[in-house]
Structure 1
Amino acid sequence: MVATLDDTKRNAIAIKLASMKAMQQLIIENEKLVLGAGLDTEIADRFRDFLKDDEKNLGVLETIIGQYGIQAEPKQTVQQLIETVQKLMKGSELSLYEKVAQHELLKHQQVMTGLIVHKAAQKVGADVMLAIGPLNTINFENRAHQEQLKGVLEILGVRELTGQDADQGIWARVQDAMAAFSGVVGSAVTQSSDKKDMNIQDVIRLDHGKVNTLFTELLQSNDPQKIQEYFGQIFKDLTAHAEAEEEVVYPRVRPFYGQENTQELFDEQAEMKRVLEEIKALSPSSSQFKDKVRQLMEAVGDHMRQEESTMFAAIRNNLSSDQSEQLATEFKAAKTRIQQKLGVVSESKM
């Protein structure tokens, strides 16, 4: 059996996520340019808050893409749009009002793409929903930014047309809209938006949750094609996760977690890889297939419990918050590189 995953729906979502990441990078670039345009204090403070949120959300998007497990390139039309907007934002053809209006349109596009990805994930699989779960926070924050940008546009537009300030200040303009918006989404606007990056425990725990969901979906299915698809994703997710841990995490924790404990984690993952290869050689309709998967799930579960209890405790006791977040960044980068090496890059489509 070849462990591949060429489900077109999953690949299409991967391309959307890659496009969102490219657009997020453009949004950050635009906000830095606007901040350099001599804004008054109130608007500049608002853009600094946007920038802080958007830089954090870029990291969240990178985590989501790593969790999703399929590395893709943005759609070519999105890349062309980005190049066009970059030229306009850096040039002198647009007024400040027009540049901020363009930025608000990008925020709108980002909101709609995020909502569509979330809705599509509901139709594809529980593992996909779990992987893209943090996208909801980004969607809500982008929607809140969009409402505030409308207030900024009112001020800049009146100023451009009359040379005078609008009668209402920025917060008076957006207060009613933000109150209505908050009433619709409740606390979801601020959930998980504590401005700090994910630490290594957060990122590893997300990986564990996703693979557990994949195991459940596989064992509940009687469709050989779906079983093969689920195993293909399990194979790639576990392989990338294990190799990234062995490259980045285990060497870092060995000094305080202990040589014996760390070696046990290496040995467990070596056994896991061996069983993965055994299952890969079986037909999904074979009577042995699900038995081997259950054996693998049990071994992986024991490994996860050790990491989430004793290893996580050792990390909390020996690494600062900044060090743990930096380790997460290095782990995500390693996992992305390994996923690309495993040949899970989807080609962008026109």
Structure 2
Amino acid sequence: MATKTRSGSGNKTNKSNEESLFNWGGNQAGVLVGAAVAGAAVGFAANMGRKLFVQMTSGASGDWADALATEHALTLAIFDKIEATDDSNTAMRAHLLAKLKYALTKHALQEENVVYPALRQANSAHDADALNSEHGYVKTYLYELENLAKDSPEWLARVRDFRAMIEEHMRMEEDEVFPALRNTLSEDQNAKLTALMHKEGFKFA
């Protein structure tokens, strides 16, 4: 009888251990689910905050044209950092190239999906098409630089060719095309274009 009693007591103990180790019931489940939901909310908020920071960094001042000019300046600052590297800084070159690609891709989406269509509506299709075609060369340069050895003597020379093309593209936009477009639009139309551009940039931020 004693053995049987001990066996029964042992079974209860084992069952209790199983419930506490493997069955997340009652309050434990509530705590875990609550923690998961809270963690997801914090992650979502952090991501939204990052998006807002990235987008507002370029759009903190002025309208759509001013915001794009700010992005141009930020892009040239990345080029400055790339050109300050030497052939031994392969990891840094790869890192800066990734930053450059991100900045240019976001910038191009804003222009291609919002600003260039507005140019076409304002009877400036020729300018819109010319600028849009140059974005194809931007992608070609990025592809070449990604696939060219970062310690190759040709790499930095290609970066400088790329920069020269980008600077000419920016000059045409900032000095000619964008001011002309802005002057054809009313204050309300410029405000709407600014909002649409920021909305597009926010998707990629």
Same fold (TM over 0.5): yes
**Could you say if the C-alpha distance between residues 214 and 323 of structure 1 is closer, same or farther in structure 2, counting changes exceeding 3 Å?**
same
How many Å separate the matches in 2 of 1:296 and 1:219? Answer: 12
1:262 aligns with 2:128: yes
Render the CA deviation track for 1:8-65: whole Å, top value 9, x for unaligned: xxxxxxx9xx64975xxxxxxxxxxxxxxxxxxxxxxxxxxxxxxxxxxxxxx83x41
- Structure 1 residue 279, shift from structure 2 partner: 0.9
What secondary structure does 2:177 align onto? helix
Percent identical among aligned pairs is 24
Q: Is the 8 A contact 2:114 2:197 kept in 1?
A: yes
Pairing 1:105-254 to 2, within 5 Å after superposition: 198-222=62-86, 223-254=89-120
**Uncovered stretches (5+) of structure 2, i.e. residues with no partner:** 1-41
Q: Is the 8 A contact 1:279 1:289 kept in 2?
A: yes
**Uncovered stretches (5+) of structure 1, i.e. residues with no partner:** 1-14, 23-60, 69-130, 135-196, 340-350
Q: Which amino acid aligns with 1:66?
A: Q
Pairing 1:13-28 to 2, within 5 Å after superposition: 19=46
TM-score (norm 1): 0.42
How many Å separate the matches in 2 of 1:335 and 1:280? Answer: 24
How many Å separate the matches in 2 of 1:276 and 1:264? Answer: 19
Give the corresponding residue for 1:313. 179
1:283 to 142, 146, 149: 149
Structure 1 runs of 4+ aligned residues shifted over 3 Å read 18-22
- Structure 1 residue 321, shift from structure 2 partner: 2.5
- Structure 1 residue 249, shift from structure 2 partner: 0.8
Query: Number of aligned pairs?
Result: 160
1:294 aligns with 2:160: yes
Q: Which amino acid aligns with 1:277?
A: Y
**Higher Cα radius of gyration:** 2
TM-score (norm 2): 0.69
The higher relative CO (CA closer than 8 Å, separation ≥ 6) is in: 2
Render the CA deviation track for 1:285-336: whole Å, top value 9, x for unaligned: 1212111111111111011001101112222211122322221221122122
How many Å separate the matches in 1 of 2:47 and 2:157? Answer: 39
Q: Is the 8 A contact 1:244 1:338 kept in 2?
A: no
More helix by share: 2
Q: Is the 8 A contact 1:208 1:304 kept in 2?
A: yes
RMSD: 2.7
**Could you say if the C-alpha distance between residues 250 and 214 of structure 1 is closer, same or farther in structure 2, counting changes exceeding 3 Å?**
same
Q: Which amino acid aligns with 1:214?
A: I
Give the corresponding residue for 1:55. none
2:199 to 327, 333, 340: 333
**Could you say if the C-alpha distance between residues 335 and 306 of structure 1 is closer, same or farther in structure 2, counting changes exceeding 3 Å?**
same
